Amino acid sequence: AIAFGVPEKTVRSVCAYCGVGCEINAGVKDQKIVGIHPVQNAPVNKGHLCVKGRYAWEYVYANDRITQPMIRRQNQWETVTWNQAIEFCAQKLKSISQEHGPDSIGIIGSARATNEDNYCIQKFARTVIGTNNVDNCARVCHQPTAKAMSMVLGTGAATNSFDDVDEATTILLAGANTTGSHPVIGARIKQAVLKGANLIVIDPRKTELAKYATCHFQLKPGTNIPLFNAMANVIVTENLYDKAFVNNRTEGWELFKNFISEWTPEKAAKICRIHPRLIREAARLFAKQSPSICFHGLGLTEHTQGTENVIALVNLALLTGNIGKPGTGINPLRGQNNVQGAAAMGCDPSVFTGMASVRTERQRFEGIWKTTLTAGKGLNLPEMLEAASSGRLKAMWITGYDVFFTMPDANHTKHAFEKLDFVIVQDMFMNETAEKFADVFLPCASSFEREGTFMNAERRIQKVRKIIPVPPNVKPDWEIVCNMAVAMGRRELFNFSTAQDIWNEIRSTWAAVYGITYDRLENGGIQWPCPTTRHHGTTILHTESFPREGGKAKLSAIDFIPTPEQATTEYPVILVTGRELYHFNAGTMTYRTAIKDICHTDLLHVNPEDAAAFGLKDGDNARVISKYGETILPVYTDAAIRKGEAFSPFSNNLVFINKLTSSLRDNYVQTPEYKITAVRIEKA
């Protein structure tokens, strides 16, 4: 039951939702949360919270929360003790590993869990199972960002801080509906514009911030590269680039200059379906009215050229010297509260903790963990599903992530899960993956019921504090992982009594966070790199040089290769999926709060003229059909959408929009192309 009343105490912690990482003060009475308020002097949110952070916390008291471990036998869930559940899982994992090899098992970390949880999860995969088959949900969101930025800048994380919004003269916002998905930062951008900053918005929809923009590019979905290349063309041909920065701090200039000469605004405008004059205006604004800062979201990354989209954006910052200074930089808006942390802890098949390559740093980690590690990169999540389909992967352990509901092309995902011999789901609720495919359910604590740290989108490590007691038969993820390791005979590697013990081991593996101790975090978050306990943390990266060989960043010639997923006579509408204000990702938490009374379903946003042509009006049910599947959802006529396009969130399990989405993926890191699916819309 939800508690009400005057709090007896307040506990400071971090919001359970997005990667902005707002700090909260939770009011507690009779050991229950009775309200949440923003921390007034928090560096990130400065006294603000959005509707989710402020009001959407009652899911911890939902009646359908799972509070006992369970094993499914003859298709019936049986409640068991923790000892029984752990022993059962340990025996299954051991026998699968012995029969089919350690690489027949895949483990998925959680962007909703703490750094300490994720560190244990990847360490378990590598040291107990003996596989690098470990991944997390960054694979389906900002992995292209991490890949692109580490390739051309040397570090796959935001270069600057949210406070740089206030220092910028021009803000470029690409593929991010910030007032919906990262509302507190959306509000800060809006305030900056009201105080005089220029705003360039690149989005196929006329988002709320597009209404405040000096230039809004309502471009054809999937055509970011031509636009960025044409802006670079204008900057170079009009001699607006920063020659000293290009000469001293970048490599690849001659090649880039030749390549970019062909990308005239006229050429790009035809592909993007925008006006060339606007491209020139935006390029001049970005180059002349600096400092200029870039923020981007999944509108850049969830494409077949997701990684290349980000590289093409980085080119603009490098050309104009808008990096390594206040009010500049490339700043990905991360989706979940600890998605940056899950990846940085090593829940990634190609890197250990601290983004250390499994190829080059295996020996160092063998020394730290005192065990032999497997060589070579493991499977990422889409590759695990492929391997499951072909019978090579036999088991998955999935923590805090509804893989079936959120992966694209649900029929394909279903086929993969059906082929697995053994699935463990660790979550708070019986999510779609658990309900359909799990053999064992392990109930884990919410972020209100555990100690640890989260890492926000600006590299800030913040303390997560236990606000309320954990329910009697529920455990924090790290404790479950440690118990499993002990049951599988590796107690010596998981001898942790507290989250702080784990954090101290993390500090010993990753020099950039060595200086961040739990004691120091009591006074507020610290941004890495923070190499010593006297260091204050780093608000801006790359001020002097880039951590690449030679110390220079790379200007890159990025060609445009249109996605094969195009509108056709049979499927004439391009569907874009994304988040909206009221619900969060798979809706697992927000649909269990009063927010569902404000917004109780996903809606299909359709241009009013298109809706009329399809015989649909507001509230009608539309049948939406793609090559991959079909679903039904209510229509919302929306002039913010261009004709021939449609938009839907992906949070409602009755709608299940991922029955429709394309199976295409990013060329480098296999992030799904959620942003482009050709569909047909009919009256249901």
Find the shortest distance in angstroms from Cβ 590 to ligand SF4.
10
* Single residue of 183, 332, 408, 578 touching ligand SF4 by CB under 6 A: 183
* Single residue of 126, 147, 182, 280 touching ligand SF4 by CB under 6 A: 182
Q: Quick one: 183 or 471, whose CB is closer to ligand SF4?
A: 183
CA distance 223 to 210: 18
* Single residue of 7, 13, 15, 494 touching ligand SF4 by CB under 6 A: 15
Hey, which residues between 130 and 159 contact ligand SF4 (CB under 6 A)? Answer: none
CA distance 552 to 66: 51
Looking at the DSSP bridge assignments, the partners of residue 26 are 11, 36
Continuous segment of H or E residues that includes residue 505? helix 499-509
- Verify binding: residue 317, ligand SF4, rule CB under 6 A: no
337-349 burial, b for 16+ CB within 10 Å, e for fewer? Answer: bbbbbbbbbbbbb
In the chain, the amino acid numbered 488 is M
Find the shortest distance in angstroms from Cβ 24 to ligand SF4.
8
Contact of 594 with 586, CB cutoff 8 Å: no
Continuous segment of H or E residues that includes residue 678? strand 677-683
Q: Quick one: 55 or 636, whose CB is closer to ligand SF4?
A: 55
- Verify binding: residue 53, ligand SF4, rule CB under 6 A: yes
Choices 16-24, 78-86, 489-497, 542-550; region in contact with ligand SF4 by CB under 6 A: 16-24
Choices 19-27, 226-234, 371-379, 670-678; region in contact with ligand SF4 by CB under 6 A: 19-27
SS (HEC) of 613-650: HCCCCCCCEEEEEECCCEEEEEEEECCCCCCCEEEECC
CA distance 29 to 48: 23
Q: Quick one: 138 or 319, whose CB is closer to ligand SF4?
A: 138
What SS3 state is found at 320?
A: coil
Continuous segment of H or E residues that includes residue 287? helix 276-288
- Verify binding: residue 17, ligand SF4, rule CB under 6 A: yes
- Verify binding: residue 52, ligand SF4, rule CB under 6 A: yes
CA distance 395 to 97: 9
SS (HEC) of 50-111: CHHHHHCCHHHHCCCCCCCCEEEECCEEEECCHHHHHHHHHHHHHHHHHHHCHHHEEEECCC
Contact of 401 with 135, CB cutoff 8 Å: no
Tokens encoding 513? 């966070």
Q: Strand locations in 81-231, DSSP E?
A: 105-108, 134-135, 170-174, 198-202, 215-217
Tokens encoding 552? 């220079």
Choices 14-22, 68-76, 358-366, 667-675; region in contact with ligand SF4 by CB under 6 A: 14-22
Find the shortest distance in angstroms from Cβ 34 to ligand SF4.
18
- Verify binding: residue 45, ligand SF4, rule CB under 6 A: yes
Q: Quick one: 21 or 525, whose CB is closer to ligand SF4?
A: 21
Residues 6+ apart with CB under 8 A from 91: none
Choices 11-19, 146-154, 534-542, 625-633; region in contact with ligand SF4 by CB under 6 A: 11-19
Choices 48-56, 69-77, 418-426, 667-675; region in contact with ligand SF4 by CB under 6 A: 48-56
Q: Quick one: 22 or 558, whose CB is closer to ligand SF4?
A: 22
- Verify binding: residue 50, ligand SF4, rule CB under 6 A: yes
- Verify binding: residue 43, ligand SF4, rule CB under 6 A: no
Reported residue count of the chain is: 684
* Single residue of 26, 36, 49, 493 touching ligand SF4 by CB under 6 A: 49
- Verify binding: residue 250, ligand SF4, rule CB under 6 A: no
Q: Quick one: 102 or 400, whose CB is closer to ligand SF4?
A: 400
- Verify binding: residue 18, ligand SF4, rule CB under 6 A: yes
Q: Quick one: 92 or 182, whose CB is closer to ligand SF4?
A: 182
Find the shortest distance in angstroms from Cβ 284 to ligand SF4.
32
Task: State the sign of the Cα–Cα–Cα–Cα dihedral 147, 332, 454, 512.
Answer: positive
* Single residue of 22, 85, 137, 323 touching ligand SF4 by CB under 6 A: 22
* Single residue of 7, 13, 21, 34 touching ligand SF4 by CB under 6 A: 21
Q: Quick one: 333 or 603, whose CB is closer to ligand SF4?
A: 333
Q: Which of these, 383, 487, 396, 390, lies nearest to 434 by C-alpha position?
A: 396
Find the shortest distance in angstroms from Cβ 651 to ligand SF4.
14
CA distance 9 to 15: 18
Q: Quick one: 57 or 647, whose CB is closer to ligand SF4?
A: 57
Q: Looking at beta carbons, which residue is closest to ligand SF4? A: 53
Find the shortest distance in angstroms from Cβ 635 to ligand SF4.
27
Positions touching ligand SF4 (CB under 6 A) are 15, 17-18, 20-22, 45, 49-50, 52-53, 182-184
